[in-house]
Structure 1
């Protein structure tokens, strides 16, 4: 793993307003352990951000390679903020939490969380967790790219078939001749075959 990955942690303040709040103090201690673990392993921790309305703007400015969310009982609300903030620029999201209520894990993963780690945070676990999260994110992005490419190819094939049919109907060409005409036009104009087909269909629709 490249330790120079730009990592942002989304976490509560390390100094809770109420020092008698045991939950807040416990969460602050876990958050401190997480940050120390990152630094001990040489990771590039560029910022620690609160969960607020400016989170999206901060992430857009910092452009981190990975986002770590440190949350407890308010994990759902925190994740909603982070997922929304990374919607236009997807990146790995790792959640560390002590909240044993895992009823919303499925929703979190579907929303874009790459790894959901419940309890047991220890510095030596951080590296393998991040390695798995990055590998999973890369795999999922590759699958999404393949899906988009397949969808685009299918759409282009449909356009080409429709354009061929139009040429066959209006110019009395055979299917092969119609295809060759489309291909020659694409070559002459330096365009993709699907783009030529789309323009021809748009023009036919415009002229009626």
Structure 2
């Protein structure tokens, strides 16, 4: 059985909040918290630490979207924004700000579950892409350090590149460390000595 999702609904209007909560109750088993006041929103959301945040706005502005985005932590969890009206460029601004879903024409009970599922799926895809990008950047930086270390060994010992790499690899294995860590230590030491 999947873990119970905790959902924060940001909605100042009690009637609209009730409709959203009822739609969520009808579409699944969730732990729902309604936040009516946007003052100190980030702190209120952090206190609940939800899995998903749903925000309902009648008429957003770019400033409101940026404020809500900062407060809801879209890199930490899926955030879906439901709006009644949208000015040109706001949907792009919302997605660029990290929101997982931007739904125009308000929130209706039949849309809650599909939008919730889509927001979660999009968030997971983006999180996976961010992790892959970070890993690729880390690997590239490690490759640069290893290349610098090989160059240092080639000059200092007068050996070809493949022997320099073999020496780094053998040293790493002997010390139970990663090649990149040994290379980093060599580059750092050479910087101190040079």
Q: Please tell me whether residue 59 in structure 1 is matched to residue 45 in structure 2.
A: yes
CA deviations 1:20-49 (Å, max 9, x no partner) are xxxxxxxxx433322221122234243222
Which residue, 135, 139, 156 being the options, matches 2:121? Answer: 135
Question: Number of paired residues?
Answer: 193
- 1:46 maps to which of 6, 25, 32: 32
User: CA–CA distance in 1 between the matches of 2:44 and 2:189?
Assistant: 45
Distance 1:74 1:146 in 2: 33
Pick aligned residue for 1:152 from 117, 138, 147: 138
> Structure 1 stretches (4+) deviating beyond 4 angstroms?
86-89
Paired residues of 1:4 and 1:43 also in contact (CA < 8 A): yes
**TM-score, structure 1 normalization:** 0.83
In the other structure, the counterpart of 2:12 is 12
Rounded Cα–Cα distance in structure 2 between residues aligned with 1:31 and 1:100: 20
CA distance in 2, matches of 1:87, 1:154: 28
2: distance between equivalents of 1:197 and 1:8?
47
**CA RMSD across the alignment:** 2.2
Q: What is the distance in 2 between the residues matched to 1:114 and 1:202?
A: 42
Q: In the alignment, what sits opposite 2:156?
A: 170
Which whole-Å CA distance do the structure 2 matches of 1:188 and 1:121 have between them?
61
**Normalised TM-score (structure 2):** 0.89
Cα deviation for residue 162 of structure 1 reads 0.7
Alignment of 1:37 onto 2:23: yes
Q: Tell me, what secondary structure is at the counterpart of 1:206? A: helix
What stretches of structure 1 of length at least 5 have no aligned partner? 15-28
Residues 150 and 63 of structure 1: is their aligned pair in 2 closer, same or farther, counting only changes over 3 Å? same
Return closer, same or farther for 1:3/1:38 CA change in 2, 3 Å cut-off. farther
Q: Is the 8 A contact 1:6 1:66 kept in 2?
A: yes
> How far apart, CA to CA, are the structure 2 residues paired with 1:158 and 1:186?
17
